[in-house]
Structure 1
């Protein structure tokens, strides 16, 4: 009976945490994804036929500027685009952590952050997180940047809007989206192999808490923004590219055949005649991880790789503080560095 009550309490705590977390983070994540996905080259570009392409996105340089723009054009409904895929991925990752690793914490969507377990278990968690996070990132980011209104409780309809016929017929092609697996693996490898190892070394759970070692860990988390932020930007830009099988087009361009999906746009309801962001033309996609990095730097400038870097840095600080609080709670004694 006591075990059942403990399970109910854990379920209630995680559910409450999920609701509060999604209510706060989904609008912020939506603005962040849009800001990083917005395509705004510094000069006129040539399309594959050699014609001048003047398609650019709106000039929005700040996170809060994008947040205001989303609200102005799409309203509250636009702020919560991506809610359902975010909730689904978080529930799956949390369920796996609770069932397989006896975790009592809510998993974070968008960053594979293992619970306090052994290194082998952390690698298993990271591998499972890779399988889940890649399609979750694709569906979530596309649902955020799409101009179409997607119903929350009609997933099949929404997937018809977000995925091409090829992706719906062969879902595994999502894992072959050029460059995306590389970006995801690099990000997870850095987070798990490097940051997680340093966390266990500098801030061990159940060991003596050292303020000096904790300060070093916080500094490392902040400095890691230089690595993680570009990977997040690259992941965002690659995830919104769609795969198809038309031989006369590149493998990540728009399907030639009509998707046969008619969906209302936000502009029809808000009376606005402009999109929130501009996207790269689908006939001139990024061909892989290295190509994406090169073209971002050449076309938009290296600063694009660090859009909203302070958001990544703030997330790192919050993660470090949560780790420190957990370690301090279980240490029992606070001691100085020997």
Structure 2
């Protein structure tokens, strides 16, 4: 296997830079979505006022330390996934096109049908997402905890219960999380499959052969962007519920977190995120109905604008690329 060390150095450096720049904003989104802010008359919660409000309150209460909480776990997860993807792409143990990389050669060697290849890709994506659930849980908990945790494995005593440390597999069995990540993996793939013909429509309508034939690349492009952006209507609630499921505690774990203050201490007397009291949500459906009842429907759409922009931006770039490809075509 011949891998350029310079490439790996740049690759790792870029990932670390991305984590460093993105951690404050990702943390603010986590705090906003995990925050328990019940409806008037149903309890006391923290009002964060959107992602900007979450950033401001984090800075006011926790300072620089708080802005980069969660960086330890997210860096490990990012490097693991990114390096793994790079190595899979660069290695080429199968005969065939030397530039195709591991995945393309593997698919070619298995001689899969198109449908089987798609199913294999979906299964692989789902397996990766589920395997990373513990990293996601630890990242979310490290962001919202009021404890001053060290950047070491000792911090696990403040993020997990004694039962979870004794039986780490319990992080995968947090009620509702596997179902949530399954939907978060399958639904975007479904949207892409359904909307892909619109992208082909942009390319076809932009080709020289279709000029003046009444085809409108603008129409296909607009519909593609709208359809992909509309996915935020169900993707955002799933993201909100994932955070709430990850940080929810039962009575035993909540008591252990309280006891851990003696070892670690608190970052500040105030807290940025209001913790929902036990019991823990019993599953994805229970989390959905409970959040609607306690916090209102709007709580399920926290950070929606930013998520919608995050879906619309790549969709627009894909439309522009398809239009350029169509203009260059000689079909």
Say which of 237, 244, 264 aligns to 1:237.
244
- Mapped to 1, the partners of 2:171 and 2:281 lie a distance apart of 15
Aligned-residue offset at 1:312: 0.8
Q: Which residue of 2 is the match for residue 151 of structure 1? A: 150
Structure 2 CA distance for partners of 1:65 and 1:127, relative to 1, 3 Å: same
- Confirm or deny: 8 A CA contact 1:203 1:209 kept in the other structure: no
Q: TM-score, structure 2 length as denominator? A: 0.78
Question: Does residue 1:84 correspond to 2:81, yes or no?
Answer: no
Matched with 2:171 is: 174
- 2:79 counterpart SS class: helix
CA distance in 2, matches of 1:182, 1:254: 27
Distance 1:199 1:150, change over 3 A: farther
Q: Residues 171-219 of structure 1: CA distance to partner in whole angstroms, max 9, x if unpaired?
A: 1111111111111111111022x13324654447xx8795544443222
Question: Could you tell me which residue of structure 2 aligns to residue 106 of structure 1?
Answer: none
Distance 2:85 2:257 in 1: 41
Contact between 1:34 and 1:145, CA under 8 Å: does it hold in 2? yes
**Root-mean-square deviation over aligned CA pairs:** 3.3
- Cα offset for 1:232? 0.5
Answer yes or no: is 1:218 the counterpart of 2:206: no
Distance 2:72 2:195 in 1: 32
1:281 corresponding residue in structure 2: 277
Instruction: Say which SS state the counterpart of residue 147 (structure 1) adopts.
Output: coil
- Tell me the residue number matched to 2:315: 320
Residues 97 and 125 in structure 1, CA contact (< 8 A), matched pair in contact too: no
CA 1:257–1:77 in 2, change beyond 3 Å: closer, same or farther?
closer
8 Å CA contact 1:39–1:280 kept in 2: the answer is yes
For residues 43 and 224 of structure 1, what CA distance do their matches in structure 2 show? 30
Structure with the largest fraction of helix: 2
Question: What corresponds to 1:107 in structure 2?
Answer: none
- Asked if the contact 2:188/2:231 (under 8 Å) is kept, the reply is no
Paired with 2:51 and 2:31, the residues of 1 have a C-alpha distance of 9
Partner of 1:305 in structure 2? 300
**Alignment-derived partner of residue 196 in structure 1:** 192
How many residue pairs align between the two structures? 296
Distance 1:132 1:242 in 2: 21
Name the CA distance, whole Å, in 2 between partners of 1:102 and 1:321: 29
Displacement of 1:325 in angstroms is 6.7
Deviation at 1:292, TM superposition (A): 0.9
Q: Is the 8 A contact 2:147 2:261 kept in 1?
A: no
Which residue of the other structure, out of 32, 45, 50, is the alignment partner of 1:57?
Answer: 45
| Structure 2: distance between partners of 1:281 and 1:294 | 16
What is the SS of the residue equivalent to 2:263? coil
Residue 186 (str. 1) matches residue 183 (str. 2) = yes
Contact 1:89 / 1:132 at 8 angstroms: preserved in 2? no
Runs of at least 5 residues in structure 2 that lack an aligned partner in the other structure: 92-102, 108-116, 207-216
